[in-house]
A = this chain, B = another copy of it.
Amino acid sequence: MKRVDINCDMGESFGAYRIGMDEEVLPYITSANIACGFHAGDPLVMKRTVAMAAARGVSVGAHPGFPDLMGFGRRIMECDVEEIRDYVTYQVGALRAFCDALKVKMQHVKPHGSLYNMAVGNEGITRAIIEAIASIDDDLIYVALAGGNAVMTGKIAEESGISAAFEAFPDRAYTRQGTLASRKQPGSVIKDPQEAADRALMMARDGKVTAEDGSIIEIEVHTLCVHGDNPAAVDLVRLIKKTLESSAVEVIPMGSFIQG
């Protein structure tokens, strides 16, 4: 039987500011990427989100980003690898303390926004992030983009003694090379819910995705990235989960099938 994880960013609220329909999306996901206070999130939100996810049986991971709250971690910051490594260590450690306090085992680490994007295809940055993770707990799984760059990423993770999980985006168009089509390009975001759900199924069950040019690409997928920032997004996640399960794909946390 095929199995796949569904991951979603959450815990992005900050102080009086609220972002994300965390409570609504939790029933349909299996892994929560929790912001750690640099680009979003604050200590109270982090604790509350770990508790909320754990109460729903959703596995918890750290979602470290650049120290840029004003830009929500989405802007490129040209930090050097030592900075990136130590920023990741700091944030993962902070979230782990809340996991410890709540007796929750942290499952994974997935970088956020620009940090995530900058790691794609960049060996130095990928290594900095992985080394930070491995130095804290080699049971943690590093979540990175599936497709073209997965080989390099997997190799560095293996050298560092941790596992990597590869994620795909059901609602994003792919190039023939198996990378995400630029968001600036028309059609790069799949708007039709059923189409996105069908793509999710094809990714999870068949390990394939249809590229922009109609060609079928092979892609190793452990987890599907979804969003929970608006009602339509939540509806899509529900549809994706339902579509997977009705096609005999088991939706379970990545930690249950990836060697930690």
Contact = CB atoms under 8 A, between A and B. Distances in A.
A103 B100 CA distance: 18
B90 A37 contact: yes
Contacts of A98: 86, 89-90, 93
Interface string A41-60: 01110110000000000000
B76 A78 contact: yes
Residue with the greatest number of chain B CB neighbours at <10 A, chosen from A43, A74, A132: A43
B100 A44 contact: no
B86 A43 contact: yes
A132 B89 CA distance: 20
Contacts of A82: 44
A15 B65 CA distance: 15
Interface string A81-113: 011001101111111111011000000000000
A183 B15 CA distance: 20
A258 interface: no
Nearest to A132: B101
Contacts of A89: 43, 47, 97-98, 101
A137 interface: yes
A135 interface: yes
Interface string A16-39: 111100000000000000000100
A86 B17 contact: no
A136 B98 CA distance: 8
Contact of A93 (B19, B97, B114): B97
A68 B90 CA distance: 18
Contacts of A101: 89, 132, 135-136
Contacts of A18: 17
10 contacts: A15-B70, A15-B71, A43-B90, A69-B69, A75-B77, A89-B101, A93-B97, A96-B97, A97-B136, A101-B135
Ranked nearest first, the 5 interchain pairs of A and B with the lowest CB-CB distance are: A93-B97, A101-B135, A43-B86, A17-B17, A76-B78
Given A14-B69, A47-B89, A93-B100, 18 more contacts: A14-B70, A15-B69, A16-B72, A43-B83, A43-B86, A43-B90, A69-B69, A89-B101, A90-B98, A91-B94, A92-B97, A93-B93, A93-B98, A94-B94, A96-B96, A96-B97, A97-B136, A100-B136
